[in-house]
């Protein structure tokens, strides 16, 4: 019987052919230290980076790889036996080739066949050069996999195998362990709770083809929605961002402007007990947007008259049901703690997540973030720099702690 965390869990580690495969021994050791039972599958290319015998010694089981085909049941079919055995699959590293195979449903090696056959959660840890990671084909493949419910952790920015600096470094084993815990723990503390998440940067029209916007990708809101849904919540996602795969089981409402976001949230707020306001709402909008496209030939110089935008967070805090809890977000380029505290006091949130959006750890538009969660009573919780999927999980941990007093409120049953 499985215990807490990874104790007693059956984890199948898929090692693919990249230099990050050298981290597999540390990952397998960490899993076993936490009480997991570990088996390993390798691609042919992976065996050039780390010896199957070494991973056999660390996992305590024969390693399945081309030329051996080891399985849980030697008399059966390896990919079926392994897929049925696992509580969770960790693909580390997940190379561009493996990601492409999974996206199109190929089953031409033991790794891809096993993953195609499984119904257990799959966690991908991408690792590749920056150009490969940013290629539209890779991003399209990842979008397909996310939409099918596969989970990602990383990649990170850092030194790559080529010696260059950039995005594509595999997440560290400690981060993979944390992500695996989130996947295999029976987290149902939000079962039946209505949750509303906002995401992305609003787009305020200048004319029919131009708008005022910001660099928000909507990634944090998307990860919050996924995390809440995995914990049993009924989730509504109001987004201005173009999603790379809607979370399975999440109701998505797409809007453009702050006014549209406020209207959509007002319709949904009676159904929810928790608001996670991660959207980057524009502070200003055009006083009089042009009904026609403006041309440079007709406007050699141009002055835009801007007016203060609607305060979506402030309006919803004021209108929420008494038991509804609100988590606000503040993206700041300087002194983000102080400014976060000022926003927390001004808006009346129950929690506020303050993110720095300048420097190398900027949360705006990236795959990773760092933050500090601020409480009205002065407490602070640090969230060190990590993939947004992990940051979202920690925010949900803290937000769930607010709900004990509001069980039975609208949206909680």
Domains of the chain: residue spans and CATH: 10-184 (3.40.50.1950), 194-406 (3.40.50.10300)
- 234: Cβ–Cβ under 8 A, 6 or more apart, which residues? 192, 193, 194, 195, 271, 411
pTM of the model: 0.63
Of all helices (H) and strands (E), which one includes residue 101? Answer: helix 96-104
pLDDT at 412: 41
Rounded distance, CA 350 to CA 373, Å?
Answer: 11
CA distances from 144 to 100, 101, 137, 150, 244 (A): 10, 12, 11, 9, 8
Query: Following CA atoms 237, 238, 244, 245 in sequence, which dihedral angle do they give, to the nearest 10 degrees?
Result: 40
N- to C-terminal Cα separation, the chain: 30
Active site residues: 214
Tell me the C-alpha to C-alpha distance, in Å, between residue 293 and each of 16, 208, 284.
51, 6, 20
| pLDDT at res. 356 | 87
Instruction: Quote the pLDDT of residue 410.
Output: 44
Task: Tell me whether strands 37-42 and 10-15 are parallel, antiparallel or unpaired.
Answer: parallel
Chain-centroid distance of CA 352 in Å reads 19
Each residue's pLDDT, cut to its tens digit, for the chain (413 residues) gives 344 467 778 889 999 988 888 999 999 998 888 888 899 999 989 888 989 999 999 888 998 887 654 444 444 567 777 888 888 899 989 999 999 999 988 888 889 888 888 888 898 999 898 888 989 999 999 988 887 888 888 888 888 887 888 888 888 888 888 788 877 766 678 888 999 999 999 999 999 999 998 888 888 998 899 888 878 899 999 998 776 656 667 889 999 999 999 999 999 999 999 999 999 999 999 999 999 999 988 888 889 999 999 999 999 999 999 889 999 999 888 899 999 999 999 999 999 999 888 766 566 767 788 899 999 999 999 998 887 877 888 899 899 888 865 554 444 43
The Cα–Cα gap between 130 and 165 comes to: 8
Are the CB atoms for 195 and 153 separated by under 8 Å?
no
- Give residue 39's pLDDT: 92
> Chain-centre distance of CA 310, in angstroms?
28
DSSP string, 169-213: EPPPHHHHHHHHHHHHS---TTTT-EEEEEESB--EEEETTEEE-
Q: Please tell me the predicted confidence (pLDDT) of residue 250.
A: 84
**What does the pLDDT read at residue 362?**
65
Asked whether the beta carbons of 172 and 226 are under 8 A apart, the reply is no
The angle subtended at Cα 145 by Cα 67 and Cα 254, nearest 5°, is 180
Euclidean distance between CA atoms 88 and 96, whole angstroms: 21
Query: What pLDDT is recorded for position 263?
Result: 96
Task: For residue 41, give the 3-state DSSP assignment.
Answer: strand
């Amino acid at each position: 019987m499985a215990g807490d965390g990874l104790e007693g869990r059956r984890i199948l580690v898929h090692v693919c052919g990249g230099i990050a495969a050298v981290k597999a021994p540390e990952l397998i050791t960490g899993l076993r230290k936490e009480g997991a039972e570990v088996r390993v599958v390798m691609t042919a290319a992976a065996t050039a980076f780390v010896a199957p015998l070494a991973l056999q010694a660390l996992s305590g089981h024969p390693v399945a790889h081309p030329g051996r085909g080891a399985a849980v049941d030697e008399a059966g079919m390896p990919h079926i036996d392994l897929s049925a055995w696992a509580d969770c699959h960790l693909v580390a590293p997940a190379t561009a080739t493996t990601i492409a195979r999974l996206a199109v449903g190929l089953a031409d090696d033991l790794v891809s066949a096993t993953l195609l056959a499984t119904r257990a959660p799959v966690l991908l840890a991408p690792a590749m050069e920056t150009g490969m990671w940013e290629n539209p084909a890779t991003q399209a493949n990842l979008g397909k996999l996310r939409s099918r419910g596969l989970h990602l952790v990383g990649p990170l920015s850092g030194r790559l195998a080529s010696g260059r600096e950039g995005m594509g470094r595999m997440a560290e084993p400690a981060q993979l362990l944390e992500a695996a815990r989130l996947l295999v723990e029976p987290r149902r503390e939000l079962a039946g709770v209505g949750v509303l998440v906002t995401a992305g940067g609003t787009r305020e029209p200048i004319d029919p083809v131009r708008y005022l916007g910001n660099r928000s990708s909507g990634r944090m809101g998307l990860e919050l929605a996924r995390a809440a849904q995995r914990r049993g919540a009924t989730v509504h996602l109001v987004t201005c961002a173009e999603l790379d795969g809607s979370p399975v089981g999440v109701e998505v409402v797409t809007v453009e402007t702050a006014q549209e976001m406020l209207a959509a949230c007002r319709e949904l707020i009676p159904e929810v007990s928790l608001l996670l306001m991660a959207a980057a709402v524009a502070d200003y909008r055009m006083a009089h947007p042009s009904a026609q496209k403006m041309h440079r030939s007709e406007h050699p110089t141009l002055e835009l008259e801007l007016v203060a935008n609607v305060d979506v967070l402030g309006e919803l805090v004021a209108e929420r049901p008494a038991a509804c809890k609100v988590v606000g977000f503040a993206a700041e380029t300087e002194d983000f703690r102080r400014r976060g505290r000022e926003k927390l006091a001004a808006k009346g949130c129950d929690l506020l997540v303050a993110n720095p959006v300048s420097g190398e750890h900027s949360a705006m538009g990236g795959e990773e973030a760092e933050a500090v969660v601020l409480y009205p009573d002065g407490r602070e919780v640090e969230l060190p720099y990590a993939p947004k999927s992990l940051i979202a999980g920690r925010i949900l941990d803290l937000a769930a702690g607010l709900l004990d007093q509001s069980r039975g409120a609208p949206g909680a049953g």
